Structure 1
Amino acid sequence: MYRHHFGLHSDPFQLTPDTQRFFPGAMRGAILDALFYVLRSGGGFAKVSGEIGSGKTMLCRMLGERLRNQATVLYLPHPTLSPDELLRTLARELKLPLNAATLRYELLGALHDALIARHRDGQNVVVLVEESQGMPQETLEELRLLSNLETQRATLLQVVLFGQPELDLRLARSDLQAVRARIIHGFTLPPLTASEIRDYVAFRLAQAGHRGEGLFSDHALRVLSRASRGVMRRINVLAHKALLAAYADTSARVAGAHVRAARADTALGGGQGQNNRQILRLGGATMGLMALAASAYAIVSSPRPGKVALMTEPAALSVPTATPAQSTPFTQHLAVARSLLLGQPRLSGYTIQLLLSDSDDPGDMNRFLRQDEVAALSDRLLVFPTRLRQARRWALAYGRFGSLREARAALAALPPGLRRYRPYVRGLAAVQAEALRHGLGVQGKAQLRRNKPSASSPG
């Protein structure tokens, strides 16, 4: 209806998952890369949890497509199966001969032989289970037993469970301890932040053929962010209806009033959907490190650390020789930023922004930088100035990566204690421009001169 009015060739916010419109931002691309790596390196059991409408089905289909030429992928979209029904479903998917009289032990033997044969041909079998929070306990246990089928070197049947947060609650129960112990890698799909919603809307509109300036006004995007609470399905529903409202209003752009009209016309339910990206609060003697989000969105365990490190370890950033006035972690990493960001006219590559301070006090950042988990990354950290609502702040970034894939893999491998601050990948050119715009060349020298340790601001 509104396509011609806005110059679109298709509906930008359709609800049916279309892998051609997969949005790699908001950790989705990083989690997809990590899942693919886990499965290709032989991991047996993984899980992905997220609120209703967070993009689990899209991620499941993307993973299936990426594995298509390297594994036999079996989908279980309806998990309410008994253990025997599960075995028969897998046998049918693998095109094994069976009939109503086939006994359980015969089924298990045939499945084992089929898995060995496919492994011999270089094709492992991957089972993708959607809505797995509804799978009966006995069937989950059957999957666990099937995942025990292995050769001396490889797991023959790999399983990825996709489910709502209730899946995590179920797996926490003592009677599912054996299943939980098999899950080495766990991922959670977080809600989109306001900036990610802006990127997502622009991405979907561009996929539908939009060209030119933003179709949604800044006010419309703010209203959309609040109303959707960062849940992708809600964003799609509200954005679609807002476009209809703008079309009915013969408006060239979507305004905040159009999104409010869409919100009034829509019953949104399902999940907390809280906007979890926060600014790290660095004030106070203990740094006041707070996570405002109630749900756990950190990756429970990152891809196998040893192998990921070989792929993604960033080169150490060179630190200028410290003088007495440069003896704190803050001033050292600020000097690293000055050396890197002022050394070339336009940098290429990527970095990972770990957090943004809520204070311009270097002492607060120093206390954070001295924490063990952060200090372990010290040769790859840089601090640079920025601004938030006209107030000066300090940003902390990690590493320099030659490709987006390397940066995403490193992001997925960060320790859980750092992942709770919702780090994300940024282009180094953008970081360089931001730091220079907010006075890196001037403020950096001033901070290096005056920020010596003091009794009131240790470190």
Structure 2
Amino acid sequence: MYAEYFGLQQEPFSIAPDPRFLFMSERHREALAHLLYGVRGGGGFVLLTGEIGAGKTTICRCFLEQLPEPCRVAYIFNPKLTVGDLLRSICHEFQIEVKAPGPGPATIKDHLDPLNDHLLRSHAKGLRNVLVIDEAQNLSPHVLEQLRLLTNLETNEHKLLQIILIGQPELRGLVARPELEQLAQRIVARYHLDALTPAETRQYIQHRLDVAGLKGPLPFSDAAIQRVHALTAGVPRRINLLCDRALLGTYATGQARVERATVDKAAQEVFDTPTKGPTETGPSPLRERALYLGLGAAAGAVLVAGAAWAWWQGQQPVAAPATPVASLAPESSAAAAQTPANAPAAEPPAPPPPKASPTPEAPAATPGLPPASALIASADAAWAELSTLWGTPLSGAAPCDQAPRQGVQCYRTQRMTLHGLRQLDRPAVLALQLPDRSRGRVLLTAMSADAAWLQAGGQRWQLPLTQLADAWDGSYETLWRLPPGLRARVADARQTAAATWVGERIAALQAKGTVPSSAAQLTARVQAFQRSQGIDAEGVAGPITLMQLNLASGVDEPRLSAPRS
């Protein structure tokens, strides 16, 4: 609603986990380092706690993407379970078959024995097994004690299972209870994720606005930012809610930037926080502006502004802005996307990157998993169907060898997560095992907060993410578009003719005026970009980094946005 008014390409403070807006503060990086250290420690428990909205999910997503290669992960995000439920979930996540020897349901021992065998076989192959439990503050002491017993599964030298507990601050008090003393002694690393400092709050706001396309000065006064930190206590999710509403209120009243009074009013709306001090009354700035916006193609802008004013009327009336009303009236539909009139002029920006092509209309989706007969049996056939979404059909044998000649490259992994699907945000081939044990491939073409859309042979299915997680084995195959001019596989774009392109894209995203002129400068810029995306900051511009660069800079690739209802 307000993005064009502030010269933005999109709204910057959505609470959806968009990887383009990922901000890693120093304490976020420290938390991630503790998790990675704990995993490399070879057993026991790792504890990560933090307030609601502090960024624990962000850390977990980054952690899962940076696990060492020989790791298998079981991820449990609904820990309100009995001991039996927990063991069933763990065996299911590790794809361990459990058989009950008698006519009744499988017992705890029926789960523990094959789990132990699985861990021993994995250890013999040099593989590590990691169990991640989110929202772990909901675990009962009885279930936590069973988890401690799982860490007794060991060889003479190594624990066979690493357990990571992620939860809210009360998790620290839970594991400190006297009856869980043995568990507490097995915690090899722990970290409490504090909220952002006032300086980091400013950096966070600046970062999200920059990613959203801000070219001019920060549209928040110093007093407004200080008030944002005071009202949110530096919690990122609360910052998003408050700043989004404050920008809307600023747009609704025709002001050029967010002031402290606007933040107070926004807080009253989203946090039920009372405002202090009288507010001066005056004429409705949007009603006056509507006189200028009511002509020709700008009529649509009146409806949008009216909606914003309807929201803002729920607050106390505000004074008209100091900027003359006439100066805020756009002269054409294009003018609405410019920086507010009283903002200082910025240097001319680089030409915007191309936007992703819209996904063509598709047939209606059928609820539930696809039948076995609809699954794609051949890997080559799956690549061929996936490649049509990129407009570069790959057919026949060895499709990934053909791909670079058509400007795309294949990417494969066997340990993708639901978080990873969201972060890479691109259609992909997933391998499924259906309840009848039949196996095959489908295309993931869209995702929402709680559902996925699958495709195979022109047919489509919609199902909850929980159902997808049950059937999906973690394999993931996708394509990504190569930098312009490259027609060979890329392992590190810094070593190719695309190095300049990479530098230009990152410079534009980081709002830096100059393109790096040396290899060292380019590596430093790549590392800064990787840190902003939660990628291991090695400075190598490999496939994951280039995929995220394509995503952040708007390279024309298909995405996973959910179909419109």
Shorter-chain TM-score above 0.5 = yes
Q: Distance in 2 between matches of 1:177 and 1:141?
A: 10
Partner of 2:207: 203
Q: Distance in 2 between matches of 1:126 and 1:158?
A: 5
User: Which one of 129, 139, 143 corresponds to residue 147 of structure 2?
Assistant: 143
Q: Mark the CA change 1:34 to 1:268 in structure 2 (over 3 Å): closer, same or farther.
A: farther
* Counterpart check, 1:106 vs 2:110: yes
Partner of 1:121: 125
Partner of 1:247: 251
Secondary structure of the corresponding residue to residue 250 of structure 1: coil
Once the two structures are TM-superposed, the CA of residue 268 in structure 1 deviates from its matched residue by 6.3
Secondary structure of the corresponding residue to residue 208 of structure 2: helix
Q: Distance in 2 between matches of 1:268 and 1:128?
A: 35
Once the two structures are TM-superposed, the CA of residue 7 in structure 1 deviates from its matched residue by 2.8
Once the two structures are TM-superposed, the CA of residue 123 in structure 1 deviates from its matched residue by 2.7
* Counterpart check, 1:79 vs 2:83: no
Deviations along 1:348-369, whole A, 9 cap, x unmatched? 99xxxxxxxxxxxxxxxxxxxx
The aligned runs of 1:99-248 (5 Å cut-off) are 101-248=105-252
Instruction: Tell me the percent identity.
Output: 38
Once the two structures are TM-superposed, the CA of residue 43 in structure 1 deviates from its matched residue by 4.2
Secondary structure of the corresponding residue to residue 66 of structure 2: helix
User: Taking structure 2 as the reference length, what is the TM-score of the superposition?
Assistant: 0.46
Q: Mark the CA change 1:268 to 1:163 in structure 2 (over 3 Å): closer, same or farther.
A: farther
C-alpha contact (below 8 Å) 2:98/2:114 kept by paired residues = no
C-alpha contact (below 8 Å) 1:73/1:128 kept by paired residues = yes
C-alpha contact (below 8 Å) 2:82/2:143 kept by paired residues = yes
Q: Distance in 1 between matches of 2:155 and 2:18?
A: 36
Partner of 1:56: 56
Q: Mark the CA change 1:111 to 1:81 in structure 2 (over 3 Å): closer, same or farther.
A: same
Equivalent residue letter for 2:63: L
Q: Distance in 2 between matches of 1:18 and 1:154?
A: 38
Q: Mark the CA change 1:115 to 1:8 in structure 2 (over 3 Å): closer, same or farther.
A: farther
Question: How many residues are treated as equivalent by the alignment?
Answer: 275
Secondary structure of the corresponding residue to residue 266 of structure 1: helix
* Counterpart check, 1:27 vs 2:27: yes
Q: Distance in 2 between matches of 1:126 and 1:20?
A: 27
Secondary structure of the corresponding residue to residue 271 of structure 2: coil
Deviations along 1:36-73, whole A, 9 cap, x unmatched? 12212324211011112211122122211212744112
Deviations along 1:245-282, whole A, 9 cap, x unmatched? 1121233322222211111112269xxxxxxxxxxxxx
Deviations along 1:298-318, whole A, 9 cap, x unmatched? xxxxxxxxxxxxxxxxxxxxx
C-alpha contact (below 8 Å) 2:71/2:128 kept by paired residues = yes
Q: Distance in 1 between matches of 2:67 and 2:91?
A: 20
* RMSD of aligned Cα (Å): 2.6
* Counterpart check, 1:94 vs 2:98: no
Q: Distance in 2 between matches of 1:151 and 1:189?
A: 33
Q: Distance in 2 between matches of 1:123 and 1:19?
A: 29
Once the two structures are TM-superposed, the CA of residue 103 in structure 1 deviates from its matched residue by 3.0
Q: Distance in 1 between matches of 2:50 and 2:110?
A: 37
Equivalent residue letter for 2:86: L
C-alpha contact (below 8 Å) 2:48/2:167 kept by paired residues = yes
Where does structure 2 lack aligned partners over 5 or more consecutive residues?
274-519, 522-526, 529-565
Partner of 1:36: 36
Partner of 2:403: none
Once the two structures are TM-superposed, the CA of residue 26 in structure 1 deviates from its matched residue by 4.3
Q: Distance in 2 between matches of 1:152 and 1:62?
A: 32
Q: Distance in 2 between matches of 1:29 and 1:161?
A: 18
Q: Distance in 1 between matches of 2:221 and 2:239?
A: 15
Q: Mark the CA change 1:122 to 1:147 in structure 2 (over 3 Å): closer, same or farther.
A: same
Deviations along 1:170-217, whole A, 9 cap, x unmatched? 222111111111112110111211111001111122222222321222
Q: Distance in 2 between matches of 1:36 and 1:8?
A: 36
Q: Which has the larger radius of gyration?
A: 2
Q: Mark the CA change 1:145 to 1:256 in structure 2 (over 3 Å): closer, same or farther.
A: same
Equivalent residue letter for 2:21: R
| Larger CA deviation: 123-132 vs 248-257 | 248-257
Q: Distance in 2 between matches of 1:3 and 1:119?
A: 52
Secondary structure of the corresponding residue to residue 46 of structure 1: strand
Partner of 2:488: none
C-alpha contact (below 8 Å) 1:47/1:183 kept by paired residues = yes
User: Taking structure 1 as the reference length, what is the TM-score of the superposition?
Assistant: 0.56
C-alpha contact (below 8 Å) 2:43/2:161 kept by paired residues = no
Q: Mark the CA change 1:115 to 1:223 in structure 2 (over 3 Å): closer, same or farther.
A: same
Secondary structure of the corresponding residue to residue 170 of structure 1: helix
Q: Distance in 2 between matches of 1:152 and 1:224?
A: 54
C-alpha contact (below 8 Å) 1:26/1:190 kept by paired residues = no
Equivalent residue letter for 2:93: E
Secondary structure of the corresponding residue to residue 270 of structure 2: coil
C-alpha contact (below 8 Å) 1:26/1:192 kept by paired residues = no
Q: Distance in 2 between matches of 1:12 and 1:267?
A: 19
Q: Mark the CA change 1:68 to 1:207 in structure 2 (over 3 Å): closer, same or farther.
A: farther
Deviations along 1:94-131, whole A, 9 cap, x unmatched? 11223573332221111111122223333311111111
Equivalent residue letter for 2:31: I
Q: Distance in 2 between matches of 1:158 and 1:132?
A: 15
Secondary structure of the corresponding residue to residue 257 of structure 1: helix
C-alpha contact (below 8 Å) 2:43/2:160 kept by paired residues = no
Deviations along 1:142-161, whole A, 9 cap, x unmatched? 11111221223322211111
Q: Mark the CA change 1:16 to 1:69 in structure 2 (over 3 Å): closer, same or farther.
A: farther
Give every structure 1 segment of 4 or more consecutive aligned residues whose post-TM-superposition deviation is greater than 6 Å: none
